[in-house]
A and B are shown apart, each in its own frame.
Chain A
Amino acid sequence: MKQSKIKNVVLASIAVIAIAALPSCKPKNVSTATSGDAAKKAYVAPGKYDEFYNIVSGGFSGQMSIYGLPSGRLFRVIPVFSVDPEKGYGYSEESKAMLNTSHGFVPWDDLHHISLSETDGVHDGRWAFGNANNTPRIARIDLKTFRTAEIIEIPNSAGNHSSPFITENSEYVVAGTRFSVPMSNGTTDVPINTYKENFKGTVSFINVDKESGKMGIAFQILLPGVDFDLSRAGKGKSHGWFFFSCYNSERANTLLEVNASKFDKDFIMAVNWKKAEEYVKAGKGVKKNVSYAHNTYDEKTHTANSTIEKEVIMLDPKDCPDMVYLMPCPKSPHGCDTDPTGEYIVGSGKLAAVIPVFSFTKMQEAINAKNFEGEYDGLPVLKYDAVLHGEVKKPGLGPLHTEFDANGNAYTSFFVSSEIVKWRLSDLSVLDRVPTYYSVGHLCVPGGPTKKPWGKYVIAYNKITKDRYLPTGPELTQSAQLYDISGDKMQLILDFPTIGEPHYAEAIPAELLSKNSTKIYKIEENQHPYVTKGEKEAKVERKGNEVHVYMTSIRSHFVPDNIEGVKLGDVVYFHVTNLEQDWDVPHGFAVKGANNAELLIMPGETSTLMWKPDRVGVFPFYCTDFCSALHQEMQGYIRISPANSNVPLTFSTGTNQPPIN
């Protein structure tokens, strides 16, 4: 009896294993071969444009990358928080200030999330924002030039993960602390095991100027020492609120893998930011002495400027009632996403096997009825059942993030079960599921976080690729996967590799950006202090031991291209102006032995390379960007003489200086 049952089970398991193994090697039958239109759907013919820009975070690369959809073609890597020798970013004198912080120059960071500017809850195509997770900062990228225009450091913060999510009119981008830390009030040197008393979290609201996009820290809110993870603004009916997921409500400071997973529920925090604005106006905020860098890139001078700011306004919820509420959310919620109507807030407990969906309407009712289950560190905790729209039951394992289409459907990524699950917001029923290869993290529907999702595709950003591509040693490429969601069933149509590690991404219809794209910088508008607006103005000047070379580049020569009279111990600044006024004709500049990168100078731009010669000799320099048929002729020499030499300072192009006798 017992034996036969075992045998049955064993036999069953053989059958199951055999079946499970089959799909991986199922020969293509006629029907799949003929109905397979994936290649057609992802195909963008040579010379044709993609339908969407996909703006993808680079994770530990610190950069943002620009892809086309549906082709998955990579167009550009925008340097943001990490130096990029290819573009001279962080190496040229003009760009160094972009990476300045209160800690000095920081050459790297970890960019996790993208948000695109919105007007009335819809993409307006002006700016993309990105967060620095390690040394907390937010960057603004100008989508006309696809360059980093501004970086602001966030004080009283560590692990700026819950960022840079945006409100529906780009009133604010936010920054929430993943790592709570002792606040900078003079008592930061504390034992780590005093975490519960001394460590605090903050969320910062950074306002964005309607016209210029310029950022400023409007206020910070002082909060319990939990880990803030992700966030989304309310929209439509919930405009004026912001929702943040938080974990580690246990407030553990060691082995969080175990110690931050003890409680059944953590929280989604709801912040009434309109109320916060009132409190700031009413003077309820306390001015805190801090130090943070604010770096802006000036397109007229082609130069970044860094200033250190010294003050923020801090609101304490203890002095500001009705501003912050907590909603219990099962098991270390990660994603915290609001649907296009603003009614539903989807929490994703990353350790849970359900997806709780909260109702903004019910939350308002519960607040009005004071339907609280208690307090957490002085903050009112609403009753779970009172604010819950419902739970998606058994959707998969390890829900992380949710995006939306315009038809009332949600798409949730599941890390553990490696799949995307489509479900309906109204009745929480699961409609479809597709596997991802493998271990999907974030996902993106074009316009998915806005009031007006553009839909059509969902893109999975996967953490693990294992056998999906040709192997390249221990480290494999990160990967995105594109699914067509225009029908009832999701269909995988493309895998494409990504730079760094993609976390969140957004996608925007191509025409919203392409029509505004900058082609050249006008040379007559160039206000760089060392600009050379024509070859006749080219010169070399000595100021003490500094040698300033006012250089021009145009197809296919530098002026000057022979320089003498520079001495060991001098510091040479090559201020190179690209005189071209023609789209897609950058010139590069590099000099032998420079402990520096190249310059890559756009048409009409001026860029400066600093060089400290380390030996006597003659050193060639050349254009690094293949600019013309005579690119190989675009070169020059600089002579470095001993410190005590009497060689006069001369420069020339086309003639010898001094003339040959």
Chain B
Amino acid sequence: MNTKLLMGVIFAASIAISCNPPAAENQQATTTEETQAGGQEAVIDDDSQKDIVKIAVGSADHSTLVAALKQADYVTSLSNAGPFTVFAPTNEAFNKLPAGTVDDLMKPENKAKLQDILEYHVSLGVFKPEMLTDGQTINQANLKNIAISNKDNKIMINNQANIIATIPAANGVIHVIDAVLLPPDK
């Protein structure tokens, strides 16, 4: 727990420290090269509703997902206008994977596979719980389908993951799920 809190603090601090270059440097930048900024995730805005990435970063239960999004270079994408529906597995859900799976996926050589898995958790469009109907399929960002079951408002994805919470975001909606969705091979 303390470690996670610490992470939050470090993250916040890194943003806060990041962007006050001394005036001399500013001047230099104008005469030489454009300042290479981060993507939309680096926009400093405490007034607007939080987007999917900001919500995930602020959630202690999603540090693995956030790390995976960073590794897959999908932080910028999910800070975009969207609209997205993100099925967000908890840390515990990642822990249910066979030992070593996450470490393996985080290796640079497995980036494409990690991207594919993360894309399988993202739908373009906002699917609120009431729009997830029994027998529905949704084609995800990686072009593979997920199957929805909805029995008495108990929603499951691929007969495997339960939606345990739904959080609206500025650029879509997050459904917190208790299992990682693995895309079918074909």
Contacts and interface: CB of A to CB of B under 8 A. Distances in A.
Interface stretch (B33-41, B154-162, B174-182): B33-41
B64 to A, nearest CB: 5
A21 B67 contact: no
Name which of A12, A35, A394 has the most chain B CB atoms within 10 A of its CB: A12
Contact of A28 (B19, B32, B39): B32
Given A13-B66, A257-B126, A353-B143, A438 B39 contact: yes
B103 interface: yes
B141 A351 contact: yes
Nearest to B125: A257
Contacts of A643: none
A352 interface: yes
A437 B29 CA distance: 18
A27 B75 CA distance: 23
Contact of B42 (A21, A26, A28, A350): A21
Contacts of A397: 74, 77, 119, 141
Interface residues of B, number: 66
A418 B143 contact: no
Contact of A353 (B42, B80, B142): B142
A13 B102 contact: no
Interface in A1-46: 1-2, 5-14, 16-18, 20-28, 32-39
B166 interface: no
A330 interface: yes
A7 B102 CA distance: 12
Contacts of B64: 6, 9, 13
| Chain B at the A interface: SS class | helix
B164 interface: no
B71 interface: yes
B43 A466 contact: yes
24 contacts: A2-B95, A5-B99, A6-B91, A10-B4, A13-B63, A14-B7, A17-B14, A17-B70, A20-B38, A20-B75, A21-B15, A24-B36, A28-B32, A33-B28, A36-B33, A38-B34, A39-B33, A261-B125, A264-B143, A435-B39, A464-B81, A466-B45, A467-B37, A467-B42
Interface of B: 3-4, 6-7, 10-11, 14-15, 17-19, 21, 25, 28-34, 36-45, 57, 63-64, 66-67, 70-71, 73-77, 80-83, 91, 94-95, 99, 102-103, 106, 112, 115, 119, 124-127, 131, 139, 141-143, 145
Interface of A: 1-2, 5-14, 16-18, 20-28, 32-39, 257-258, 261-262, 264, 330-331, 350-354, 394, 397-398, 415-418, 435, 437-439, 463-464, 466-468, 492-495
Given A9-B91, A398-B124, 6 more contacts: A5-B99, A6-B95, A23-B37, A38-B33, A258-B127, A416-B80
